[in-house]
Structure 1
Amino acid sequence: MKNSEQLSLYFAKQLPALITAHPTFKFIGLKIKESPEQIALHSIYIEKDESVEEFPFRALVTVSDWDGNSEEEEFFLEALTADCLLDKLQNFDKAGSFVFFETPKSASIGTVNMYPQPMFCSLFPELGEFDENASKEDAQQLKLKSIALFNDLMKRLESDTNRN
């Protein structure tokens, strides 16, 4: 995967045209929701399955508590067109508030099934490898670095969009 500074970032409204023009592209969208009780990562994996005619556009949405204190929620959506899929995602989880980027060909739908920290480490190599045996202090520092990286992506996307 590329470093976060090298990624092309997109808002949800840009995806239908990209998916239609480049049907082999896969996208991941990320959103972090913070509340006093928890920090949750909402992630979306989007692809077009060329082997399926009826509903070729599909998305897997997962919601995970960053610290693993609650069960992960998982939702699968399908649609006939990219526009319909994004409409479903917008109604389902306000897809407009996600940061989307193209994933490498090696990424799969299973990528968004990972817990938040291992997912961030696999998507953003500058964070380093995930160590499940790290101390609580090191795990907390990695979590804070990951959240800061996400916030930087969101700011960059908003800045790029305002310039265009």
Structure 2
Amino acid sequence: MRRTLALALVLLLALRLLPGCGSGGEEKGEYELYFAVSSGVGHGPALDTQPLDWPEDRGRPTPEDLLLALLSGPSQEGLRSPFPRGVALRSWEREGETVTVYLSEQYGGLTDMALTLADYCIVLTLSQLEGVEWVEIRSEGHTSSYRSHQLLQAGEAVLTEELMEGADSAT
């Protein structure tokens, strides 16, 4: 447990190092979905992106649009969904700079590195929306009791290659 918490803290601190997180969709006119890299890749980042296929005539996507696309899984080879089978979006709400996401109970079964990867796929994806600075994730109304904090920010969600070299063995 201490090792997991220490690893999570180190990851969160190191996550600030990756440039280009957050607000990417607003600047480039496109949005990206963050997914876990398929296992079998020995070294490198644990997360990668695939562009959101979003028609320009639909305007900007909402948090619900991004979450539904994320939960439907990647279509790009080399990526995998970090979410357990059956995870569904129950609802979401936005208050100021914070988006709270309510997911089905299956999300509550995630722990350790799997939870960290899933959390930050959501955080990095949603933080591209204008004005979204914080994300809170709840599973059937509950937050994970062993997270060091409940409000997650994209600047904390950057995974470096050095820290993630052993991620495949941890998940």
Provide TM-score, normalisation by structure 2.
0.29
Q: Which structure carries more helix by proportion?
A: 1
Higher strand share: 1
How high is the TM-score relative to the length of structure 1? Answer: 0.30
When Rg is computed on C-alpha atoms for both structures, the one with the higher figure is 1
More contact order relative to length (CA 8 Å, sep ≥ 6): 2
